[in-house]
Amino acid sequence: MVDLNGQYRKIRWQVNREIKKVIKSSSFINGPIVKEFQKNLQEYLNVRHVIPCANGTDALQIALMALDLKKGDEIITTNFSFASTIEVILLLGLKPVIVDIDPRTFNIDPSLINNKITERSKVIIPVHLFGQSCRIEEIIEIANKNNLQVIEDNAQALGSQYKFSNSEKQMTGTIGDIGTTSFFPSKNLGCYGDGGAIFTNSDNLAYKMRGIVNHGMYERYYHDEIGVNSRLDSMQAAILNVKLKYLDKYNKSRQQSAHLYNQAFEKVEKIQTPFVESDIDSHVYHQYTLKVPSEFRDSLAEHLSKNNIPFGIYYPLGFHEQKAYKQEFFSDKDFPVTNKIKDQVISLPMHTELSRKQINHITNTIISFFE
Ligand SMILES: *Cc1c(COP(=O)(O)O)cnc(C)c1O
């Protein structure tokens, strides 16, 4: 699904040099390189504050911890995402209120949010799934009307730009009150281990979250609140600093691969290629996900396995059906779209090193299945 080694080979010299520098400095935690990366990411995203942390799940948890919520407060989010998005809500004793998705983009359907708002609603967590920004403008509007805060889960869409109705563009993750991301190796900007970051334009929230990531400590050994230990280590920051320079190039290359896939599947009636809602920069293809009729999905997967072509089923279930989160307040009839989509999706190899030859091989193998 990814080719991290191929990518490394092209930047090996720089990465090795930067790692050696960190080892030589012995400044493994909170070294100057972490600050440098923080500054570079702030500039790239055009956001006032970046707070590095240990991973994308922590980033979401810390964002929620910063909002002074009470047990039982309601957090509205999508029903179709990676586990982290709902997990942190439940871990903090908050109540997840999950919303069905847009069948074209797999992102939260903003038109279904209003019905879910109660006097206990406090936050909306939209996810920019598979690399495509969700309809964040509508979500912000709903949030403003109802006095809710917005945390964008941007783990899959770093570098994506949302185009507002006035044609202005803004980086996803910097539009809501707080944005979060993950530097897990396979993400669009990945390190060589775990890593994450939180973004905000609010000085107050940034101050608060800088304390929370560091045991609630604002003055050395004085703990003003219960925090966590969540750090990005210097080695990962050094690697990310090298790779950040290439992020736009990496995302372009994903978009080009998606274009080649789209062209190849154009005439295959049973395949629906990814729908891009806004303009091209709004989708950075963390995943390239097809929809096929549900009766063909599993046999197509088997056909790919037989031909040694990797694929992924993201995600086999909506949150409402997962054993761990299944709660009496989820009702199956609220999720007709997720229930249909989960049996239609199949994601193909998508990364920065895909060659035309590999794409031809993958698309020919799939087309032959449908012939
Ligand atoms: C990967 C991911 C996360 C979590 O990131 P980790 O760094 O693995 O903790 C959160 N949300 C979404 C949507 C993700 O894809």
Question: Does residue 221 sit in the same domain as residue 251?
Answer: no
Could you tell me which residues come within 8 angstroms of residue 259 by beta carbon, excluding any fewer than 6 positions away? none
Question: Does residue 301 sit in the same domain as residue 212?
Answer: no
Nearest ligand 1 atom to the CA of 286 is 15
Q: At what angle do helices 32-45 and 234-244 cross, to 10 degrees?
A: 30
Alpha-carbon span 235 to 122, nearest angstrom: 37
The 3 state secondary structure assigned to 308-346 is: CCCCECCCCCCHHHCCCCCCCCCCHHHCHHHHHHCCCEE
Question: Does residue 168 sit in the same domain as residue 253?
Answer: no
Strands 74-78 and 95-99, sheet pairing: parallel
Q: Which of 104, 107, 156, 134 is CA-nearest to residue 287?
A: 156
Positive or negative, the CA dihedral 27, 210, 56, 325 is positive
Strands (E), the chain: 49-53, 74-78, 95-99, 121-125, 149-153, 161-163, 169-171, 178-182, 196-200, 217-219, 222-223, 288-291, 345-348
81 lines ligand 1 (CB under 6 A): yes
Question: Does residue 313 sit in the same domain as residue 228?
Answer: no
Ligand 1 centroid–CA 12 distance in Å is 26
Question: Does residue 87 sit in the same domain as residue 197?
Answer: yes
55 lines ligand 1 (CB under 6 A): yes
Ligand 1 centroid–CA 56 distance in Å is 5
Q: What is the mean pLDDT of each run of 10 residues along the chain (371 residues)?
A: 94 97 95 97 98 98 97 97 96 96 98 98 98 97 98 98 95 98 98 98 98 95 95 97 98 98 96 91 95 98 97 97 85 96 98 97 97 89
56 lines ligand 1 (CB under 6 A): yes
Nearest ligand 1 atom to the CA of 81 is 13
Nearest ligand 1 atom to the CA of 156 is 15
Nearest ligand 1 atom to the CA of 55 is 7
Nearest ligand 1 atom to the CA of 59 is 9
Could you tell me which residues come within 8 angstroms of residue 227 by beta carbon, excluding any fewer than 6 positions away? 65, 211, 212, 213, 214, 215, 216, 217
162 lines ligand 1 (CB under 6 A): no
Question: Does residue 254 sit in the same domain as residue 231?
Answer: no
Question: Does residue 229 sit in the same domain as residue 255?
Answer: no
Final residue belonging to a domain, choices 244, 271, 289:
244
Give the pLDDT of residue 138.
Answer: 97
Give the pLDDT of residue 326.
Answer: 74
Residue with the two structure tokens 């910097």: 174
Tokens of 302: 């088997």
Nearest ligand 1 atom to the CA of 194 is 7
Q: Is 220 exposed, middle or buried (0-12, 13-18, 19+ CB in 10 A)?
A: exposed
Question: Does residue 210 sit in the same domain as residue 253?
Answer: no
182 lines ligand 1 (CB under 6 A): yes
Give the pLDDT of residue 328.
Answer: 74
300 lines ligand 1 (CB under 6 A): no
Question: Does residue 235 sit in the same domain as residue 365?
Answer: no
Q: Of the residues 106, 130, 184, which should be mutated to test ligand 1's pocket, given the most ligand atoms within 8 Å of the CB?
A: 184
DSSP states along 29-62: BS-HHHHHHHHHHHHHHT-SEEEEES-HHHHHHH
Residue type, 109: D
Alpha-carbon span 42 to 236, nearest angstrom: 17
Question: Does residue 42 sit in the same domain as residue 183?
Answer: yes
In the chain, the largest separation of any two C-alpha atoms, in whole Å, equals 68
* Tens of pLDDT, residues 106-147: 999 999 999 999 999 999 999 999 999 999 999 999 999 999
Give the pLDDT of residue 170.
Answer: 97
Final residue belonging to a domain, choices 244, 276, 302:
244
Nearest ligand 1 atom to the CA of 129 is 13
57 lines ligand 1 (CB under 6 A): yes
Strands (E), 95-220: 95-99, 121-125, 149-153, 161-163, 169-171, 178-182, 196-200, 217-219
Q: Which of 109, 101, 80 is CA-nearest to residue 313?
A: 80
Alpha-carbon span 126 to 173, nearest angstrom: 10
Beta carbons of 51 and 209 less than 8 angstroms apart: yes
Give the pLDDT of residue 210.
Answer: 97
77 lines ligand 1 (CB under 6 A): no
* Tens of pLDDT, residues 3-34: 999 999 999 999 999 999 999 999 999 899 99
Question: Does residue 8 sit in the same domain as residue 80?
Answer: yes
Question: Does residue 251 sit in the same domain as residue 234?
Answer: no
The total number of structural domains in the chain stands at 2
Give the pLDDT of residue 281.
Answer: 81
159 lines ligand 1 (CB under 6 A): no
Tokens of 261: 């896939």
C-alpha distances in angstroms, 26 versus 20, 31, 36, 159, 185? 10, 9, 17, 32, 24
Ligand 1 centroid–CA 117 distance in Å is 26
Phi (first) and psi of residue 216, to 5 degrees: 65, 30
Ligand 1 centroid–CA 85 distance in Å is 8
Upstream peptide bond of 221 is cis (omega within 30 degrees of 0): no
188 lines ligand 1 (CB under 6 A): no
Tokens of 83: 């586990």
156 lines ligand 1 (CB under 6 A): yes
Give the pLDDT of residue 327.
Answer: 73
CATH code: domain of residue 321: 3.90.1150.10
- Residue with the smallest CA separation from ligand 1 atom 2 is 155
In which domain, by residue range, is 68 found?
A: 4-100+108-244
Q: Is 231 helix (H, G, I), strand (E, B) or coil?
A: coil
Nearest ligand 1 atom to the CA of 60 is 10
CATH code: domain of residue 227: 3.40.640.10
